[in-house]
Each structure stands twice: as C-alpha cells, then as structure tokens.
C-alpha cells in the first residue's frame, strides 16, 4: 500500500532521502587524543588540536576508521580501500580551525542497503549512497548570557559517520522504520549508541514531491535536525504537504534548507540556495590519503556479530516465531539475547508472547531498559515452567510475574511466600463448588436454559479460592454438580 | 679570546671548544647576547630571550662539567618566530598573533633543547612566512648586514627566514632554524651569504610550526658552514607520530659523511634555469660552480626539466590555497588579536582585516578564489596536475644524475622598498627554489662569491628524495672550492 497525498489536482508521491549523523563510539576523538566523554564540564575535553591552536596537526584515530568500516559492512556496503579527508571551509565560532575535516569525493564507504519492516509485515530495501567520516564541531550556547554566545569545544573533533540514503523513501513511516532499523544495526555493531536525545544520532531529511506515476524528481528541500523518532514522520509529512500546496497553487518549491519547529509542528526556511556556503573543499594537506589493507577489512568482517536481519530469519526458522514477533525481539540485541536465554529448552512462542506483552509492558511502565530489568531470563523461564506443570494458572502467573518484577525474587519463592500454589485437589474443591451451586438456585435455573452461564459459576469458585483453583478442574466439578442439582 | 671573537666560531668549533672547557656555555651565550643587543638595528629578532638563554646555558655548563654533554650542549641558536616555543611569545610576525604565548613546544625545537641547544631568541620573518624580502613583518623589515656602508634604508635579507639569515650572517648566532615553503630558507641564505638547507618534505616534523602551506612547509637549518647545517639537521630531523606527513626514515650522521667528495657523481645543469635577464654575474657563478665540481672529479651534464616555467604559477595557486584555509583559525575567538565589531561578521572582518597585513590578505584572497566553486578545477586541480609533472621531471632527471646544480636566486639582495608594489616581480625571487619545493626535494643554498657591489651570491644543489647525504656532499665540495670566508663589511670592521 503506497502512501499518497490527495491533492486538489490529483495524487502526489513523496520522494525522500535521509542524511544521518551518527557519533562514533570511541574513547578518543577522530584527530586528537582528547576524551569524548559526554556531559563533562564545558571545555575540559579539548586538546590544542581540537581548539585549532597554531601549529597543531590532526592524526587520524584508526579505531574510528575501524568503526566506520564495521558500520559499512553492517550496511552491506562497499568498503573503499582508498579514501581522502578533505577540508570543508566555513567560519563559525564553534568551528575552531575554520574548516571541518570531512570526506567528500572519496568516502570510506560506498553503496549499500538496509532492509526495513513495514507495518503490514512486508519489507523494503532502502539504498545507502555512502558513509563518510568527519569531525564534529563544538557547541554554541546562545541562551546562557543576554549579550554573548558561549562556546563549548568538548564535542569539537568527535568522530561522526555521515550516512546518506538514496531517495528511496516513499512514506513518512518508512523514514521512521529506516531510522529504527539503522539505529538497531548501529547498536548491534557497537559503532553508535543511537541516542537521539543526547544528539549522538541526528537526522536531516531531503524531501520532494511529484505527481503519482511521474518518474522525474521535484525540487527538494532539506529539513535539518529532526531529532526524535516522533518528529521524523511529522516533519516529512508536513513538508510534503506544504510542497504539494505550493505546487498546486501554481508556485515553485525553493531549493533551500528548512528547520523543523517541534513546538508548532511546522518547517520554516533557514537559508536559501543563494545563501548556501561555498565550502571550498580540497584534500587536507595535513593528512595522507587513507589506504586500507584488504586484510584489515577482512578481519573486521569476521568479527561482525549476527545482525538483526540474520537473527530475525533464524528466530523464525529455529523458534517458529512469526516474522513480526521475531522483528520485535531482534530490534535490540539485549532483548534478543534475553529472549534466547529465557527460551532455552522451552516453548519459544510462549516465551516470546510473555516478553512482548508482559515484560515490555512492565518495562515501559517503569521506564526501564532491558539491561536494568529486575527479572532475569531464567526466572521468567521458570515461571512459565510452573504454568506448564499445571502448578500455576495463567492468571496467577501474571500476578507472580508482577511480584517478580517488583522484587526480583524467584517465582518459586513468591509462590511459596504467598501460598499461591494452584489447588488441583478435587477433594479440597468439592465443598466449595457444592456450596456455590447450593447458594445460587436462580443461576442454576438460568444454567438449564443457557449452559454458558457456567462461566459465572467458575468466577465465583475462583473468587472463593482467591484464584488458586485449577480452572479446568473447577469446570469439571461444576458441570457434575449442576447436572445433579 | 674577545667576546666578539667567540661569535665568529662555527657551531662545530664552538662545540669542540666547549667540550675542551676553553670557555663556558655562559660565556658563549653572553657573547651572542651582547652582539644581538649591539645589532638591534638589523631588527633580526622579534623576541630576545636572554634570561632563558642564561638559564639554559647554566644547565649546559653543569652537564659539560659533569662530562654529560648532549650533542649540541651549550650551542646558542636563533629560532624563526614561526616555531611555537612553550611560554615564549610566538608571533609569526603578525599583528594577529602579537600576544600569542603557546602552551606547547614544536617538535623540532623540543628536539634541539633536548640536544642541549640554547635559545637566544625568536627571529623576524615575513608575516606568516609569506614573502621573499622580510618586508611584510608586522615588526618591521630586517636589514641585511651586507648592506653596503652608508646605504639607506638598506638591503633586504631575503625571506621569509630573513631574521634567521641576518642573525647568522651578522654573527648574532652560529646557527638558526628556518622554514622553507617556496625558498624561504635558501633565498635568504643566498642573500646573506650563509648556508641554508631545505630537507626532503617529511624529514622534519611540522608539529608546532605555524602553518603557511602544509604540503610545502619544511623546517631546516641555517648556518655559516655546510658542516654546521648537517650537525643541526641531525638533531632537528626525525619521525614524529604527531605529524602524519612526517616520514619514518632514519636520521643519518650527515656531518660525518661530508668529505666523501664528488668524484664519480653525475651533476645536472637544467637548461630551463637559464632564464631571461639573468645577471651575467650569476651566469658566471653557475659556470664556475660546475667547473669546480668537474675539477673534483664529477661529471657535469646538461639536463632538461621541461615544466620549470610552470613552477611559479603552480606554487602561487597551491600555496595560497592551503594558506587561505590554514589561516582561517585566526578569527579572534580563542587567542591572538580580537577587534570587536557590532556583530559576529563584523568582528571577523575587523579582526582579520586589521590583524593581517597586505601580503597575507592578498594570498588569502588568491587562495580563496582558487578553491571557489567553478574555479577549483581550472586553478587548484590544474595546479596539482602540473605539480605532479614537475615532480616527474625531477624523477626522470634523477635517473641520469645524482644531483642538480642551479643558481639559488636570480639576483643579489635588492633594496628595502624595491619590488614592493609589484608582487609578481617579488615572486620571481623564488623562481629557482620553488620547483624543488613543489617536488618535495632536499636542496641547499651555498654562498660561492660576491657580486660587483660586494653582495653575496649563491648556488643551489638539489638532490633525490631523502638523499641529503649527496646534497650536503656536493655543497661541501662547492664550499671548499669557493672558500667563501667573507663577512659583512660592518661585522668585519668590528672584528678588526
């Protein structure tokens, strides 16, 4: 099902590509030995190189190169054994050198692709155009003093990967799905923490529209810094509709850079094409071209973890999960590992259900990540074992689960402490069943006309036993007593 | 021995006699500090560091007494004010850095101090090393000590390492560091009658040297003899992991290999260096140099470096392009001069407009233009291609010869103020030095005679990459044959 904008004059199609800046996980910066620690006191993680002091020279951090190659391999992309760092020249107070060292004509990673999962369960390929390494700028702080801008250079020189997609995105939701998938891959690879709030994953969107069926590309605008999953779809949809309105009223779309205003949910012009910088790119004479040994790339390839797509396929194959459940479980590597630990030797589908409904619910309510989940996978497994063995009803199991999540205790301990073991002894249940039947003659009469009313009797017995009775056994006993009454 | 006579010693002699305890490092340093004070009129130094010099000399004397001398123990040297020196003001002769005190030491100077050398002061230069006459310094022009007596305002010392060259020529320091981007060591050495060596690109670390054109900048020694240059280079050179363009090539004991002679070497004379309007004196000097080498057993042949004529235009695209980017960091935000404006743009414009001199602004403009969208291919990219052709010319030539002999500069030192309003005439000073810079080759200027006005003239020896050994050997042979012992008249007078 394709997403279209119903205009006055007809249907319009969205054409969108993304430019993502992902901060590389690395202890040191791209061209200096300074620390990359987040949240340090302003200007305390700055070497003379990062501050653009006279005579200072950049030295490439090979670990960042390794991270870029690892990411390229994770994006099923071509690794360029020859790449070049260039200078992108512009003046800004938070750019100490007056240029950013980036890659331009020769990026370290070429074409690749990412598979995204759509809401209807289908998948789609989004092409990757390139990935290149570059250094981040510092941070300008405009709101601390009334008449001055403050500069924090802690971020200056931190390694970024700029990842550019092909204009393959046709719906706002596809952009979100792509970002989720990319984030998942980066986190699996350990090359970016994917934290959009802290700015370690940032997204710009190139948006244009065209009449549905057309193969020409319209004029695009670039929306800067769409910095949460929530706003990506909103910003793209707003911008696409804005462009359709302009085109339908006979206007033309300006090629420009726009900023998404999160508060008002609109995009507004930041700079036009005429105001665009001439960055005067040229190869950085302080750095030699980067030439990689094929063995270096091969070594990284061999060290790659199982990535989400492969894991998803394996979960479907090995555990019999639905593709949807598998996709949900593999999105985060920690969740997938948690699932596999809990599912070992058990009914994996049931384990998956419990994780997706109960565990995710509890984590969401308490605002916890899986890494800080109070329940260990083995504990959930043993809870399910108790149900399997008939010692706990499903209802009781949920109760026990809630207590486990609160206390971190083993399910057996909770069952013991609270005396929650299911009553499966017919002799113990008989008097209760008999009393419930005897006390409710009107309902017994109703039962004669409508046997479904047995459910009401089950409820009464369960209440009387505080839920500990085995529901199947209760049904059996009730049927016997009701027939006899 | 009078204190002035102490300043006449070569680095090698001073080293030997310090070790023999004939005088102390303190005496040697004081002699030079006195000479510096007497010749402030030359304007060779931007910053003198007498206290630091005496502290360093005291340490040297302690070590000399303890028999624990390092290779350059107690040798006073002057440092071009383009090398960052920790806690010693470093200006690049620019107003924009007039108050800049680096918190770090350049690799080359750190090596020199670790070898026991003593800092006398920071020498004057063309602003950001952009110039061939040392007339663009914010701190005023340097006067060539060879200026004929009575002539005002005097002759230029060449540039950009004009302060270093003048200091060494006037016996204010036995040796100095320089940097060479298109001839900035060799041309002032030639104008001041001293020896100046630009090593192979990558031989000395650029870390801590204020950048002009990164792909060309290279530090090197300036001294009164070939041997002294070799001794200094041995301590300046070496791989530095902090400079990605520094090469992991062994430092050789060049000073011990100088006297191998030139017998059997093939020396090339490039016919393209016979430029129009070259003074007959220089033509004669060149022929004479060739004859000396032939007499010592070398085989001299004519060679061709066909792209020579394109070297200067290529250089004046590449160097300004890199400079326009390298100098972007002087924005008044973190260090150096800041001239406030009404807003950010005006602060940038005023800081850079008032902080940089005319020549620097001219080159930033040229470089910015050459890198601009729409012009990049026609200028910068084209220049890079020509640069490769020029390097290819040399590679081809060096399959047939071991070294190349050329004049070092097309004229002797001209008057201060001359060529000031004609940048192209000024740029022509570097016509013989720029090609080796573009090709990254080692090259040395050696004084071999005086012209009719009594001004020094010099020859240049260019060698294969990393073959400083041959370059210095040939230079030594020329030095010996020329027997150039002349001192600037005003200095000779003092010694008389």
Contact A57 B243 (CB under 8 A): yes
Q: Which of B94, B106, B137, B160 is catalytic?
A: B160
CB of B150 within 8 Å of a chain A CB? The answer is no
Residues B84-122: tens digit of each pLDDT: 999 999 999 999 999 999 999 999 999 999 999 999 999
Question: Which residues of chain A lie closer than 8 angstroms to B385, CB-CB?
Answer: none
Q: CB neighbours (10 Å) of residue A462? A: 17
ipTM greater than 0.90: yes
Residues A393-426: tens digit of each pLDDT: 788 899 899 999 999 999 999 988 887 777 777 7
* Contact residues for A267 (Cβ-Cβ < 8 A; gap 6+): A221, A223, A235, A238, A239, A242, A258, A259, A260, A261
- What b/e sequence results for B330-358 when a residue is b if at least 16 CB atoms lie within 10 Å of its CB, and e otherwise? bbbbebbbbbeeeeeeebbebbbeebbbe
Return the pLDDT at B71. 98
Best CA proximity match to A210, nearest among A16, A426, A378: A16
The DSSP annotation for B280-301 comes to: HHHHHHHHHHHHHHHHTT-EEE
CB of B219 within 8 Å of a chain A CB? The answer is no
Question: Which residues of chain B lie closer than 8 angstroms to A91, CB-CB?
Answer: 328, 331, 348
Q: Is A434 or B194 the better-scoring residue by pLDDT?
A: B194
Return the pLDDT at A448. 87
Residue with tokens 């839920």: A467
Contact B207 A56 (CB under 8 A): yes
Calculate mean pLDDT across residues A129-133. Answer: 98
What does the alpha-carbon distance between residue A38 and residue A421 come to, in Å, rounded to a whole number?
Answer: 50
Contact A151 B103 (CB under 8 A): no
Q: Which of B106, B184, B324, B437 is catalytic?
A: B184
Q: Whole-prediction pTM value? A: 0.91
Best CA proximity match to A198, nearest among A37, A78, A329: A37
Query: A–B: how many Cβ contacts below 8 A?
Result: 98
Tell me chain A's radius of gyration from C-alpha atoms.
Answer: 30
Return the pLDDT at A469. 81
Question: Which residues of chain B lie closer than 8 angstroms to A96, CB-CB?
Answer: 329, 333-334
Assigned superfamily of B3-266+401-495: Amidase signature (AS) domain (3.90.1300.10)
Q: Is B364 exposed, middle or buried (0-12, 13-18, 19+ CB in 10 A)?
A: buried
Contact A54 B334 (CB under 8 A): no
* Residue A46: strand, helix, or coil: coil
Q: Is A146 or A88 the better-scoring residue by pLDDT?
A: A88
Candidates A58, A59, A91; nearest CB to B331: A91
Return the pLDDT at A231. 92
Residues written for chain A: 485
* Residue A5: strand, helix, or coil: strand
Return the pLDDT at B179. 98
A10 phi/psi in degrees, rounded to 5: 155, -165
Closest alpha carbon within chain B to A97: B329
Return the pLDDT at A43. 96
pLDDT of A273 > 90? The answer is no
Start-to-end CA span in chain B (Å): 13
What does the alpha-carbon distance between residue B54 and residue B48 come to, in Å, rounded to a whole number?
Answer: 12
Return the pLDDT at A296. 98
Domains (ranges, CATH) in chain A?
5-300 (no CATH), 306-418 (no CATH), 426-484 (1.10.10.410)
Instruction: Pull the structure tokens for residue B370.
Output: 């050459």
Return the pLDDT at A274. 74
What does the alpha-carbon distance between residue A401 and residue A414 come to, in Å, rounded to a whole number?
Answer: 9
What does the alpha-carbon distance between residue B192 and residue B173 come to, in Å, rounded to a whole number?
Answer: 13
Residues B117-172: tens digit of each pLDDT: 999 999 999 999 999 999 999 999 999 999 999 998 999 999 999 999 999 999 99
Residues B359-415: tens digit of each pLDDT: 999 999 999 999 999 999 999 999 999 999 999 999 999 999 999 999 999 999 999
Question: How high is the mean pLDDT of chain B?
Answer: 96
The CA dihedral of B54, B56, B59, B61, to the nearest 10 degrees, is -60
Residue with tokens 């199609």: A13
Residues A9-18: tens digit of each pLDDT: 999 999 999 9
Contact B242 A286 (CB under 8 A): no
Return the pLDDT at B1. 65
pLDDT of A249 > 70? The answer is yes
Question: Which residues of chain A lie closer than 8 angstroms to B90, CB-CB?
Answer: 54
Mode of pairing for the β-strands spanning B118-123 and A82-83? unpaired
Candidates B210, B325, B344; nearest CB to A89: B325
Question: Which residues of chain A lie closer than 8 angstroms to B328, CB-CB?
Answer: 89, 91, 97-99
Start-to-end CA span in chain A (Å): 59
Lowest pLDDT segment from A139-143, A290-294, B53-57, B404-408? A139-143
pLDDT of A230 > 90? The answer is no
Mode of pairing for the β-strands spanning B175-180 and B76-80? parallel
Candidates A46, A55, A92, A288, partner chain B, best to mutate (most B CBs within 10 A) = A55
Return the pLDDT at A226. 87
Candidates A93, A282, A288; nearest CB to B321: A282
What does the alpha-carbon distance between residue B55 and residue A55 come to, in Å, rounded to a whole number?
Answer: 26
CB of B373 within 8 Å of a chain A CB? The answer is yes
CA distance A152 to chain B (A): 12
Q: Is B59 exposed, middle or buried (0-12, 13-18, 19+ CB in 10 A)?
A: middle
* Contact residues for A217 (Cβ-Cβ < 8 A; gap 6+): A15, A167, A208, A210
Instruction: Pull the structure tokens for residue B290.
Output: 């060739």
């Amino acid at each position: 099902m394709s997403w279209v904008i119903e205009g006055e004059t007809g249907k319009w199609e969205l054409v969108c590509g993304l430019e993502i800046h992902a901060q590389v996980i690395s202890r040191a910066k791209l061209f200096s030995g300074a620390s990359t620690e987040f949240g340090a006191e302003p200007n305390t993680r700055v070497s003379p190189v990062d501050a653009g002091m006279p005579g200072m020279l950049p030295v490439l951090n090979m670990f960042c190169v390794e991270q870029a190659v690892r990411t390229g391999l994770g994006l099923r992309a071509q690794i360029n054994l020859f790449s070049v760092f260039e200078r992108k020249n512009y003046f800004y107070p938070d750019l100490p050198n007056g240029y950013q060292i980036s890659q331009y004509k020769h990026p370290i990673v070429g074409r690749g692709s990412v598979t995204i999962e759509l809401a209807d369960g289908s998948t789609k390929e989004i092409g990757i155009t390139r990935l290149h390494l570059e250094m981040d700028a510092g941070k300008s702080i405009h709101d601390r003093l009334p008449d001055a801008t403050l500069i924090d250079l802690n971020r200056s020189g931190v390694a970024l990967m700029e990842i550019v997609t092909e204009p393959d995105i046709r719906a706002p939701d596809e952009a979100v799905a792509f970002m989720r998938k990319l984030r998942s891959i980066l986190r699996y690879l350990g090359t970016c923490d994917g934290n959009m709030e802290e700015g370690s994953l940032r997204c710009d969107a190139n948006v244009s529209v065209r009449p549905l069926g057309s193969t020409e590309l319209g004029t695009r605008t670039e929306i800067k810094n769409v910095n949460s999953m929530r706003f990506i779809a909103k910003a793209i949809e707003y911008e696409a509709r804005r462009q359709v309105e302009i085109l339908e009223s006979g206007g033309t779309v300006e090629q420009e850079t726009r900023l998404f205003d999160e508060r008002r949910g609109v995009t507004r012009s930041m700079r036009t094409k005429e105001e665009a910088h001439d960055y005067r790119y040229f190869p950085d004479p302080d750095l030699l071209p980067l030439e990689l040994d094929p063995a270096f790339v091969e070594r990284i390839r061999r060290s790659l973890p199982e990535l989400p797509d492969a894991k998803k396929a394996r979960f479907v194959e090995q555990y019999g999960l639905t593709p949807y459940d598998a996709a949900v479980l593999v999105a985060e590597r920690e969740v997938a590992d948690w699932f596999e630990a809990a599912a070992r030797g058990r009914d994996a589908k049931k384990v998956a259900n419990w994780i997706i409904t109960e565990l995710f619910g509890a984590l969401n309510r308490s605002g916890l990540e899986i890494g800080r989940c109070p329940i260990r996978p083995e504990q959930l497994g043993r809870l399910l074992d108790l149900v399997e063995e008939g010692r706990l009803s499903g209802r009781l199991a949920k109760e026990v689960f809630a207590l486990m999540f609160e206390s971190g205790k083993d399910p057996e301990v909770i069952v013991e402490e609270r005396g929650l073991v299911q009553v499966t002894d017919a002799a113990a249940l008989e008097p209760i069943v008999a009393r419930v039947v005897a006390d409710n003659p009107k309902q017994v009469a109703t039962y004669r006309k409508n046997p479904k009313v047995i459910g009401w009797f089950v409820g009464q017995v369960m209440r009387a036993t505080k839920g500990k009775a085995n529901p199947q056994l209760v049904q059996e006993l009730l049927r016997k007593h009701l027939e006899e009454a | 021995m009078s204190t002035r006579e102490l300043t006449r010693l070569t680095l090698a002699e001073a080293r030997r006699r310090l070790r023999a305890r004939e005088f102390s490092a303190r005496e040697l340093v004081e002699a030079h500090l006195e000479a510096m004070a007497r010749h402030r009129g030359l304007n060779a130094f931007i910053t003198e560091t007498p206290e630091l010099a005496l502290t360093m000399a005291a340490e040297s004397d302690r070590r000399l007494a303890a028999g624990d001398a390092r290779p350059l123990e107690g040798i006073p040297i002057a440092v071009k004010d383009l090398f960052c020196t920790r806690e010693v003001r470093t200006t690049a002769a620019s107003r924009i850095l007039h108050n800049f005190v680096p918190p770090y030491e350049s690799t080359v100077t750190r090596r020199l101090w670790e070898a026991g050398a003593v800092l006398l002061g920071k020498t004057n230069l063309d602003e950001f090393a952009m110039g061939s006459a040392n007339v663009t310094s914010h701190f005023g022009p340097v006067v060539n000590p060879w200026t004929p007596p009575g002539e005002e305002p005097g002759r230029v010392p060449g540039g950009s390492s004009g302060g270093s060259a003048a200091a060494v020529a006037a016996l204010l320091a036995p040796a100095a560091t320089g940097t060479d981007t298109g001839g900035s060591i060799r041309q002032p050495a030639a104008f001041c009658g001293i020896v100046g060596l630009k090593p192979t690109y990558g031989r000395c670390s650029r870390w801590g040297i204020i950048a002009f054109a990164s792909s060309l900048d290279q530090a090197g020694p300036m001294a009164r003899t070939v041997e002294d240059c070799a001794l200094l280079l041995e301590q300046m050179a070496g791989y530095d992991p902090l400079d990605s363009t520094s090469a992991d090539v062994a430092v050789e004991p060049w000073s011990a290999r100088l006297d191998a002679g030139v017998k059997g070497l093939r020396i090339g004379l490039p016919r393209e260096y016979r430029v129009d309007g070259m003074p007959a004196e220089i033509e004669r000097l060149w022929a004479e140099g060739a004859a000396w080498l032939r007499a010592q057993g070398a085989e001299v042949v004519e060679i061709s470096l066909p792209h020579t004529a394109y070297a200067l235009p290529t250089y004046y695209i590449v160097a300004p392009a890199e400079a326009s980017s390298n100098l972007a960091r002087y924005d008044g935000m973190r260090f150096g001069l800041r001239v406030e404006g009404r807003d950010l743009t005006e602060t940038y414009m005023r800081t850079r407009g008032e902080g940089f001199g005319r020549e620097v602004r001219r080159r930033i403009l040229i470089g910015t233009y050459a890198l601009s969208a729409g012009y990049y291919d026609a200028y910068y990219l084209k220049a890079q291609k020509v640069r490769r052709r020029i390097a290819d010319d040399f590679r081809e030539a060096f399959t047939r010869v071991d070294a190349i002999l050329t004049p070092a500069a097309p004229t002797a030192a001209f008057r201060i103020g001359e060529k000031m309003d004609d940048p192209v005439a000024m740029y022509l000073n570097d016509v013989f030095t720029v090609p080796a810079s573009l090709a990254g080759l080692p090259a040395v200027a050696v004084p071999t005679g005086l012209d009719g006005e009594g001004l020094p003239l010099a020859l240049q020896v260019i060698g294969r990459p990393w073959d400083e050994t041959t370059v210095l050997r040939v230079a030594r042979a020329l030095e010996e044959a020329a027997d150039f012992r002349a001192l600037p008249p005003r200095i000779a007078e003092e010694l008389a």
